Amino acid sequence: MRVLVLGGNGFIGSHVVDELLLAGYDVNVFDKHPEKWRPPFPNVKYFLGNFSDTSLLAESLQGVNVVVHLISTTTPSTSNLDPIADIQSNLTYTVRLLQLMLSCNIKRIVYLSSGGAVYGVPSISPVPETHSLDPICSYGVVKVAIEKYLGMFAHLYDLQPMIIRPSNPYGPRQGHQSVQGAVATFMSQILAKKKIHIWGDGTVKRDYLYVTDLAKLCRMAVEKKATGVVNAGSGKAVSLNEMLGLIKAEMQSDAEVEYTESRKFDVKEIALDNTKARNMFDWQPSISLEAGLALNYEWLKTVELKNLG
């Protein structure tokens, strides 16, 4: 079986590719750039270009049985800056992808949505998949719209979508430009001996998931012909202050913290109920937060040593 991973050179995508290769699948990767941290795999077919490149996207779909869609050109913090561009670069091109899949007779797609942005301000915790979808940022609105189009294509054209709503993934190969990813950002700032910057008072709580656990669920979704929506999270909410305390203990740091005005699109607290994923895929997170932070720190130290060299 051949699997196309859209965004396969990115943070999450590179780990999904690892999982698929270890399981013996043939893999195509479509991405804008080569992978930053490693050279290309000789047994992977790469297609480098923009998601808007219809001809290249169509070429990458040839001979493919399943598509794993991980591409997002925005984050919750950047999407509101230009909602029209968010719609164009994510929603419009995803609908075009679905049309191309139908023309190639590809029915199976695994889509990575969002386990935080689509729910908005939760009324219960942990949040089940049945919670209302009330996003408060363009990123979440577009994710919901894509989910709805997947449902429409499933009803009209027998598409077989599996939607995964992940919490906050972290781990090796995550960027640390302070746009998204508190773990990578905090650790990188500490290694660079910079002051830690936190929006708000640090009491915002999030559900954190080690990236290899998410990648395993994506691989399971490729293998099992189930459809629907599942959350992917730990089921526990951790505040930024608590997270920073764990990181500082792991890195033996006394870094200073600077708190600034909170942002309106930051939900106060969210954790994801992962019961459905446990039942449907016999999946559960295997890496604890403390173990994941230690693994990420070890990886970051090797990156820093390479940069120094």
**pLDDT tens digits, one per residue of 95-116:** 999 999 999 999 999 999 999 8
Q: Which range (6-15, 145-154, 255-264) has the least confidence?
A: 255-264
Q: What stretches of the chain adopt beta strand conformation (E)? A: 2-6, 26-31, 44-48, 66-69, 108-112, 160-166, 168-170, 196-199, 205-206, 208-210, 228-232, 238-239, 257-260
Coil vs helix vs strand at 71 = coil
At 178, is the pLDDT very low, low, confident or very high (cuts 50, 70, 90)? very low
Round to whole Å and give the CA distance between 52 and 89.
7
**pLDDT tens digits, one per residue of 121-147:** 999 999 999 999 999 999 999 999 999
At 306, is the pLDDT very low, low, confident or very high (cuts 50, 70, 90)? low
Give me the residue spans of the domains in the chain.
2-308
Q: Which residues are catalytic?
A: 139
pLDDT at position 23 is 98
Beta-carbon contacts of residue 68 (< 8 Å; ≥ 6 apart): 3, 4, 5, 6, 8, 13, 16, 109, 110, 112, 218, 222
Q: Tokens for 30, please give them.
A: 């479509």
User: Do the beta carbons of residue 31 and residue 88 sit within 8 Å?
Assistant: no
CA dist list (Å): 259 to 196, 202, 256: 8, 7, 10
pLDDT at position 225 is 87
Q: What average pLDDT is seen over the chain?
A: 94
Q: What are phi and psi of 199, to 5 degrees?
A: -75, 130
Round to whole Å and give the CA distance between 242 and 32.
35
* Class of domain 2-308 (CATH, top level): alpha beta
At 261, is the pLDDT very low, low, confident or very high (cuts 50, 70, 90)? confident
**pLDDT tens digits, one per residue of 43-89:** 999 999 999 999 999 999 999 999 999 999 988 878 888 999 999 99
Residue 244 scores a pLDDT above 50: yes
Round to whole Å and give the CA distance between 161 and 196.
40
Residue 179 scores a pLDDT above 60: no
What mean pLDDT is predicted for residues 187-197?
91
The C-alpha angle with vertex 123 and arms to 122 and 129, in degrees rounded to 5, equals 65
Beta-carbon contacts of residue 30 (< 8 Å; ≥ 6 apart): 4, 5, 6, 7, 8, 47, 49, 51, 56, 57, 60, 71
Beta-carbon contacts of residue 232 (< 8 Å; ≥ 6 apart): 115, 164, 165, 166, 167, 209, 213, 214, 217, 272, 274, 277
pLDDT above 90 covers a percentage of the chain that reads: 86
At 232, is the pLDDT very low, low, confident or very high (cuts 50, 70, 90)? very high
pLDDT at position 77 is 74
Q: What is the dihedral of CA 230, 25, 155, 143, to 10 degrees?
A: 50
pLDDT at position 79 is 87
Residue 12 scores a pLDDT above 70: yes
At 181, is the pLDDT very low, low, confident or very high (cuts 50, 70, 90)? confident
Q: For residue 257, which of 181, 203, 177 has the smallest C-alpha distance? A: 203
Round to whole Å and give the CA distance between 94 and 156.
17
pTM of the model: 0.95
Residue 218 scores a pLDDT above 80: yes
Q: For 75, how many CA atoms within 13 A lie in the half-sphere containing its CB?
A: 10
Q: Tokens for 268, please give them.
A: 């106060």
Residue 13 scores a pLDDT above 60: yes
